[in-house]
Amino acid sequence: MNGVSLCCHSTAKIQNDPFCAAKTQLCHDLQYLHCKKIPENLNSGLANLLMCAKFILFQKNAFLHRSDHLLSNVTQNLKYGSGKMRYFEKFSVFLLVTGLFFAGTTGLFADNATAREEFRKGAEKEKAGKYIDAAETFEEAHVQADDPVLKANALMNVARCYRKAQLYGKEFDALQALIKVHISRINFTDVVQRQYEIANLFFKGHRDYFVSWLPFIRKDDRTTELFEIVLENAPCAAPAAEVRLGLGRLYVNNQKPQKAAETFRKVLQLHPETKEAKYAALELANLFVQLAEKGDGDGKYAKEALITLEAFLKKHPNDSETEWIHRAIEKVHSCIAKRYCKLGDFYKESGKKETAERYYALVISDYPNTPEAQEAEKKLSQLDKNYVSSRKPLTKKERQFVEMSLPEEPDVLLIQPDESEGRFLLPVKDLRRNVSAPPKMINIKEEVDEDAL
């Protein structure tokens, strides 16, 4: 592709001429985007406009991202296979450059003195209790300032004012800006600690309001977003285990099981000896059990559930949740047995009786205590007439239970009017004395396994 290079200035000229430096920087940007060449049809007037816009926006850091974004769009419009531009395309580029020019001129003459004046106004508003207005004024000071220390102080004031206004979401955003841009000028530990506190406030139900005079209209829940950010900023901070556990539960509630499982595993990996690790193991096991019940084509979730449940039993053999763990294991075994039975049914209907018999036999041998094992035996006996069940048939046996009547009260009267705190005008009698009777035996027949008695 033919092109004209604009990077032809000496080092001395660049040092003495800031416009020339901006022009050279622009050339580097365009060369990076378009193989070190600029299209020939980019005439000198348009090139100069682009360079002026870049130079103007160099004066204000607040607009640099806007210039880079729009200049990228300009160069994208210039890249055509034929290397030629149509008139309306040139006009579009001209409009973009003009917009850049006027956007840059709004902040061209801003300096630290203007920022300090905004600081003074913001301090007055904060002192008067107008915290939202004060925060917005400090934000303007942050935009106007050129000194990085002044910018950092402005963001700190923004965070403080939003905290006083109880707009904790905006306070969090200001603190995050401090971490991203001014991390060397802040106490990172204190800032992250405050971010964790704000995230927990959202977890407990806090929501920022849209406007102060309509406090009952709240913004959306940002708990998940804030948890993710604070864990990225400080993944091993003191409250990280509790926050990770809460984030995993949020993922479960939001129907994101894969993210939830990954989060619970991180709790076990990064905080193994904490109480949160124990709860994370239970949550992870419960998650896999639920997934196995909903549908487990390859048996992956059932296997994961058994691994997690058995690991919990090994680590906490005397825990109060062991009873639930045993029930969960039985439930998972039932899910696996049901899946094998369905596979056996499929092969049975397909005419592959030998394969079906293997699946039914697998259920009977590996999961004999599940309800599916009895069903598998019936189906296997239908396919294989020579099959003899190893189970003893259930027999009906009569069992006796004692039916106890209600015990008698020691007195005919249950309560006197003077003992009722004014609730009753007449004494309350025990009417159950007439229905009380000595205990009697009841005989009930039921199918039982004699070996289990």
Instruction: Tokens for 449, please give them.
Output: 């396994």
Per-residue pLDDT at 450: 53
Q: Which residues contact 349 (CB under 8 A, 6 or more apart)?
A: none
Give the pLDDT confidence of 357-401 residue by residue, as tens digits: 888 888 888 888 888 888 888 888 887 766 666 665 556 666 666
**Residues in a beta bridge with 440:** 403
**354 is a domain residue:** yes
Question: Of 70, 105, 140, which residue constitutes the final position of a domain?
Answer: 105
Can you tell me the distance from the alpha carbon of 146 to that of 149, in angstroms, rounded to the nearest whole number?
A: 9
The per-residue pLDDT for range 54-99, each reduced to its tens digit, is: 444 444 443 444 444 444 444 444 443 334 445 545 555 555 555 5
What's the one-letter identity of residue 330? E
Q: Are residues 208 and 124 in the same domain?
A: yes
Same domain for 297 and 280:
yes
The first and second tokens of residue 380, run together, are 């296997």
Q: Can you give the pLDDT at residue 446? A: 62
- Residue 448 forms part of a structural domain: yes
- Give me the chain's average pLDDT, please: 75
221 and 156 belong to one structural domain: yes
CATH number, domain of 167, equals 1.25.40.10
* Beta bridge partners of residue 396, listed in sequence order: 447
- Residue 124 pLDDT grade (very low, low, confident, very high; cuts 50, 70, 90): very high
Residue 243 has pLDDT above 90, yes or no: yes
Asked which of 144-148, 321-325, 383-387 is least confident by mean pLDDT, the reply is 383-387
Measured distance CA(262)–CA(354) in Å, rounded: 40
Burial class of 54 by CB neighbour count within 10 A (0 to 12, 13 to 18, 19+): buried
Q: Per-residue pLDDT averaged across 104-121, rounded?
A: 71
Q: Which of 233, 248, 271 is where one domain is finished?
A: 233
Looking at the structure, do residues 218 and 308 belong to the same domain, yes or no? no
Other C-beta atoms closer than 10 Å to the C-beta of 371 total: 11
Is 5 a member of any domain? no
Query: How is 285-307 classified by DSSP, letter by letter?
Result: HHHHHHHHHH--TTSHHHHHHHH
Q: Which residues of 291-309 are buried (b: 16+ CB within 10 A; e: fewer)?
A: bbbeebeeeebbebbbebb
Please check whether residues 76 and 97 belong to one and the same domain: yes
Q: Which of 131, 155, 159 is nearest to 141 (CA)?
A: 155
Confidence (pLDDT) at 420: 79
Between 204-213, 240-249, 327-336, 414-423, the lowest mean confidence (pLDDT) is in 204-213
Type of residue found at 90: K
More confident position, 26 or 209: 209
Indicate whether 127 belongs to any domain: yes
Look up the domain containing 436 and give its range: 395-452
Mean pLDDT to the nearest integer, 103-130:
77
Among 71, 105, 139, which residue terminates a domain? 105
In a domain, 390, yes or no: no
Same domain, 350 and 256: no
Contacts of 96 (CB under 8 A, 6+ apart): 70, 73, 74
CB 260 within 8 A of CB 248: yes
Residue 381: its pLDDT value, please?
80
Residue 226: closest CA among 206, 209, 211, 210: 206
Measure the CA–CA gap between 107 and 95, rounded to whole angstroms: 19
Whether residue 277 contacts residue 242, with contact meaning beta carbons closer than 8 Å, is answered with no
Judgement on whether residues 174 and 70 belong to the same structural domain of the protein? no
Q: Is residue 328 part of a domain?
A: no
CB 112 within 8 A of CB 146: yes
**Per-residue b or e along 87-101, where b marks 16 or more CB atoms closer than 10 Å to that residue's CB:** eeebeebeebbeebe
Contact call for residues 379 and 395 (beta carbons, < 8 A): no
102 has pLDDT over 80: no
Please answer whether residues 238 and 232 qualify as being in contact, where contact means their C-beta atoms are separated by less than 8 angstroms: no
Task: Report yes or no on 329 lying in a domain.
Answer: no
Q: In this structure, are 149 and 37 located in the same domain?
A: no
Residue bearing the bigger pLDDT, 208 or 164: 164
Judge contact between 207 and 218, C-beta under 8 A: yes
C-alpha closest to that of 96 among 133, 128, 69: 69
Residues 246 and 286 grouped into a single domain: yes
Is there a single domain that holds both residue 53 and residue 91? Answer: yes
Residue 15: pLDDT above 60?
no
Is residue 388 situated within a structural domain? no
How many domains are contained in the chain? 5
172-196 pLDDT tens trace:
999 999 999 998 888 999 999 999 9
Q: What percent of the chain has pLDDT over 90?
A: 27
Question: Residue 421 in 3-state DSSP?
Answer: coil
Up-side HSE of residue 197: CA atoms within 13 Å toward CB?
Answer: 11
Same domain as 266, residue 216: no
Q: Where are the beta strands (DSSP E) in 271-412?
A: 395-403
More confident residue, 177 or 11: 177
Two structure tokens written together for 170? 């905006």
pLDDT at 156 > cutoff 70: yes
22 and 91 in a single domain? The answer is yes
Query: Mean per-residue pLDDT for 108-135?
Result: 85
For residue 408, what is the DSSP state?
P
More confident residue, 318 or 396: 318
* pLDDT band at residue 248 using 50, 70 and 90 as cut-offs: very high
Q: What is the pLDDT of residue 32?
A: 42
Q: How far apart are CA 348 and CA 217, in angstroms?
A: 61
